[in-house]
């Protein structure tokens, strides 16, 4: 079983990713597909005449500030991405099924009910944020869908203890799914060739990181790549054999990654 995560960042080659997923699935290799939608969410936010707001925690992680209104925009934008992926896969002969982490309590998360952030040099606590950290994955539901010949396409929402939808980081969602499913590999496709020693210099790609050295890689990672490295650590801790960061902008992004292109952590 392979878990593939396609980022929502600009430049990712959605048809090429779907074509590669279809090739794997049609060859009998089960795939669970997780996607993001940050770019679509930014676009929809702007089309609605609103401004996306990002917050940076005191520990240096950046995420979308998500009040209930933003959560609904995020849900709509990622639902559109989900639909487009399911359509593309269906056109390629894959019986895809879109599912969010709220559906069937697929991804259960703890809501971040007090986020310590830094804004303009000041420390603040955010209490109305609908984001969360996934604690459990309903792997049984995914196995049941796969057994029925379906390919799950997961929209990055989770459900809180009290039944509210939460915006969760799709990279870390993919990592938790890969861990819970006992996946051989987790492939994170994004709009860079992998982990770069000198971001954004793409020639400084790090081709391999030993799993014992992955914590050091967290220091190297910039911006959103930090969460991908965190996801990689979480997946490896949960028994996933190999994590690959690879370029989602190219032709054959997934088969390229499986052939060793990108940053392989093993």
- 119 or 161: whose CB is closer to a second copy? 161
- 24 or 86: whose CB is closer to a second copy? 86
Which of 22, 115, 137, 165 is the binder for a second copy (CB under 8 A)?
165
Specify the DSSP class assigned to residue 203: G
Which of 51, 59, 120, 162 is the binder for a second copy (CB under 8 A)?
162
* Stretch of residues binding a second copy (CB under 8 A), selected from 102-110, 112-120, 186-194, 237-245: 102-110
- The yes or no reply on residue 72 touching a second copy (CB under 8 A) is yes
The Cα–Cα gap between 254 and 66 comes to 31
* Stretch of residues binding a second copy (CB under 8 A), selected from 101-109, 121-129, 207-215, 218-226: 101-109
- 73 or 229: whose CB is closer to a second copy? 73
Size of the site for a second copy (CB under 8 A): 36
Burial degree of 33 (CB within 10 A; 0-12, 13-18, 19+):
buried
The closest of 78, 82, 86, 84 to 22, measured between CA atoms, is 86
Q: How far is the CB of 68 from a second copy (least distance, A)?
A: 11
- The yes or no reply on residue 229 touching a second copy (CB under 8 A) is no
CB 200 within 8 A of CB 16: no
130 to 149: interface string for a second copy, x by CB under 8 A:
-----------x--x---x-
* Stretch of residues binding a second copy (CB under 8 A), selected from 125-133, 155-163, 195-203, 236-244: 155-163
The Cα–Cα gap between 91 and 175 comes to 27
- The yes or no reply on residue 188 touching a second copy (CB under 8 A) is no
CB 69 within 8 A of CB 51: no
CA separation (Å) from 228 to 8, 144, 159, 173, 175? Answer: 13, 28, 21, 10, 9
**Count of CB atoms situated within 10 Å of the CB of 174:** 30
- The yes or no reply on residue 214 touching a second copy (CB under 8 A) is no
* Stretch of residues binding a second copy (CB under 8 A), selected from 28-36, 43-51, 205-213, 226-234: 43-51
The closest of 152, 130, 180 to 35, measured between CA atoms, is 152
The Cα–Cα gap between 174 and 189 comes to 11
Q: Which two tokens stand for residue 180?
A: 């819970």
Which of 18, 75, 115, 189 is the binder for a second copy (CB under 8 A)?
75
Q: Which two tokens stand for residue 137?
A: 């994955």
- The yes or no reply on residue 77 touching a second copy (CB under 8 A) is yes
- The yes or no reply on residue 51 touching a second copy (CB under 8 A) is no
Q: In what order do the strands lie in the sheet with 96-100?
A: 96-100, 151-155, 31-35, 2-6, 185-190, 242-247, 263-265, 208-209
Q: How far is the CB of 89 from a second copy (least distance, A)?
A: 9
List residues binding a second copy (CB under 8 A).
Answer: 44, 47-49, 72, 75-77, 79-80, 83, 86-88, 90-91, 95-100, 102-105, 141, 144, 148, 150, 157, 159, 162-165
């Amino acid at each position: 079983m392979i878990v593939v995560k396609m980022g929502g960042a600009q430049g990712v080659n959605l048809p090429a990713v779907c074509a590669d997923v279809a090739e794997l699935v049609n060859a009998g290799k089960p795939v669970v597909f997780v996607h993001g939608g940050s770019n679509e969410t930014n676009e929809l936010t702007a089309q609605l005449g609103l401004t996306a707001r990002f917050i940076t925690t005191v520990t240096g992680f950046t995420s979308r500030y998500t009040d209930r209104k933003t959560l609904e925009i995020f849900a709509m934008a990622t639902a559109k991405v989900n639909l487009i992926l399911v359509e593309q896969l269906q056109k390629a002969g894959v019986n895809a099924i879109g599912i969010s982490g709220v559906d069937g309590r697929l991804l259960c998360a703890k809501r971040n009910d007090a986020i310590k952030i830094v804004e303009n040099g000041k420390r603040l606590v955010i209490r109305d944020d609908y984001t969360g950290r996934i604690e459990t994955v309903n792997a049984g539901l995914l196995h049941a869908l796969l057994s029925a010949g379906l390919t799950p396409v997961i929209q990055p929402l989770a459900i809180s203890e009290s039944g509210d939808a939460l915006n969760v980081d799709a990279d870390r969602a993919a990592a938790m799914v890969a861990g819970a499913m006992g996946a051989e590999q987790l492939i994170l496709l994004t709009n860079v060739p992998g982990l770069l020693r000198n971001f954004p210099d793409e020639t400084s790609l790090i081709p391999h990181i030993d799993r014992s050295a992955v914590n050091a890689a967290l220091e190297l990672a910039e911006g959103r790549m930090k969460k991908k490295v965190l996801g990689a650590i979480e997946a490896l801790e949960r028994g996933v054999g190999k994590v690959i960061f690879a370029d989602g902008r190219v032709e054959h992004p997934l088969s390229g990654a499986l052939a060793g292109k990108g940053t392989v952590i093993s």
